[in-house]
């Protein structure tokens, strides 16, 4: 059996694959022309293909992707949706990092860190102002939009801080023991009304685009904060800018935006109640190995005939 290994960052891990699965023909390919040649008889691919490479693959049965989101793959290779090729993703590899990032943003807002960094740049020691803005998160409510692996990572960290946890999800998921209530998506408005912090971890699909628009933002408390770690297109950009500019919500922490990199003339740069990070919430030095580990475990499962982890519903898009 031939397995094609595409990501160059995986080279330090590939000797482990060959040692554990000595009977498998693992082939590394970097150049597009080499991938095009090698894909013809490959059964498994670790990484991403172009449409032309996919069309040339006559023996392909399984693709293990490198990220949790697969909208790029489906857009690039629409034929994969109706094909028998199984697609698995790397959901969970960046989950702990996303959980930590979301909590960091919650604490940055609650403890006024953005304002204190501004005061530091101005060399101002303003205790009276500081006392007027700091809050504690104990007893506050976090609403999580999309209770997948990243959402769960956010939830239990917030629970450890003494917060109340609510969530909405399209699937019938179990939030026990950390999530107090998991509602269907038609109760998104209820979640928004009750939450002091709203964390968006739902994956992008065309159906989820702009699921939080002007009407939804209007249901948030004026003291509430929005934190988005999954995809920028979940939130309608113009509606968010207006809500932030008019202080209809207290602030937003955005790791993802509709257009990346964020254009220099975008209004978000000018808003003092916005924290921007450049799509790095799921990253850390450990991410590559965590992504590789998912593939190695799935390689074992594939060879012994066990169900694979993280199988994607190609029609739903996640």
Query: What residues act catalytically?
Result: 231, 260, 279
What is the Cα–Cα distance from 35 to 50, expressed in whole angstroms? 10
The closest of 223, 227, 221 to 198, measured between CA atoms, is: 227
Bridge partners, 311 (sequence order): 88
* Residue the block writes with tokens 């104990």: 138
Neighbouring residues of 131: CB distance < 8 A, sequence distance ≥ 6: none
What is the Cα–Cα distance from 271 to 291, expressed in whole angstroms? 35
- pLDDT of the chain, 318 residues: tens digit per residue: 999 999 999 999 999 999 999 999 999 999 999 999 999 999 999 999 999 999 999 999 999 999 999 999 999 999 999 999 999 999 999 999 999 999 999 999 999 999 999 999 999 999 999 999 999 999 999 999 999 999 999 999 999 999 999 999 999 999 999 999 999 999 999 999 999 999 999 999 999 999 999 999 999 999 999 999 999 999 999 999 999 999 999 999 999 999 999 999 999 999 999 999 999 999 999 999 999 999 999 999 999 999 999 999 999 999
The closest of 69, 74, 71 to 54, measured between CA atoms, is: 74
List of domains in the chain: 2-92+285-304 (3.40.50.720), 95-276 (3.40.50.720)
| DSSP per-residue codes, the chain | -EEEE--GGGTTTHHHHHHH-TTSEEEE--SHHHHHHHGGG-SEEES---HHHHHH-SS--EEE-SSS--HHHHHH-GGGTTSS-EEE--TTTTHHHHHHHHHHHHHHHHTTHHHHHHHHHTT---HHHHHHH----TT-EEEEE--SHHHHHHHHHHHHTT-EEEEE-SS----TTT-SEEE-GGGHHHHHHH-SEEEE-PPP-GGGTT-B-HHHHHTS-TT-EEEE-S-GGGB-HHHHHHHHHTTSSSEEEES--SSSSPPTT-GGGG-TTEEE--S-TT--TTHHHHHHHHHHHHHHHHHHTPPPTTB--TTTT-
Write down the pTM of the prediction: 0.96
What is the Cα–Cα distance from 115 to 274, expressed in whole angstroms? 11
């Amino acid at each position: 059996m031939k397995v094609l290994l595409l990501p160059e960052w995986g080279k330090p891990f590939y000797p482990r694959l060959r040692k554990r699965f000595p009977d498998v023909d693992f082939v590394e390919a970097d150049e597009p022309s080499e991938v095009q040649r090698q894909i013809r008889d490959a059964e498994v691919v670790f990484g991403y293909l172009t449409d032309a490479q996919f069309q040339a693959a006559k023996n392909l049965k399984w693709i293990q992707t490198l990220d949790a989101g697969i909208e790029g793959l489906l857009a690039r290779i629409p034929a994969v949706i109706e094909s028998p090729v199984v697609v698995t993703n790397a959901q969970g590899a960046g989950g702990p990092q996303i959980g930590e990032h979301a909590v960091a943003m919650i604490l940055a807002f609650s403890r006024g860190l953005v304002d204190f960094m501004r005061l530091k740049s101005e060399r101002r020691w303003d205790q009276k102002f500081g006392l007027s803005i700091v809050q504690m998160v104990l007893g506050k409510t976090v609403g999580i939009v999309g209770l997948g692996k990243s959402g769960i990572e956010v939830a239990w960290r917030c629970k450890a801080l003494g917060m109340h946890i609510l969530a909405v999800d399209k699937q019938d998921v179990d939030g026990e023991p950390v999530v107090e209530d998991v509602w269907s998506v038609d109760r998104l408005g209820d979640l928004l009304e009750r939450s002091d912090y709203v964390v968006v971890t739902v994956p992008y699909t065309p159906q989820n685009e702009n699921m939080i628009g002007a009407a939804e933002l209007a249901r948030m408390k004026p003291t509430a904060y929005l934190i988005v770690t999954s995809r920028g297109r979940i939130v309608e950009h113009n509606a968010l800018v207006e809500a932030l500019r008019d202080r209809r919500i207290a602030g937003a922490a955005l790791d993802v935006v509709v257009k990346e990199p964020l254009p220099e003339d975008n209004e978000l740069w000018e808003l003092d109640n916005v924290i921007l990070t450049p799509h790095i919430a799921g990253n850390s030095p450990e991410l590559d190995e965590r992504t590789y580990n998912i593939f190695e475990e799935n390689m074992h499962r594939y060879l012994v005939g066990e169900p694979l982890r993280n199988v994607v519903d190609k029609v739903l898009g996640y």
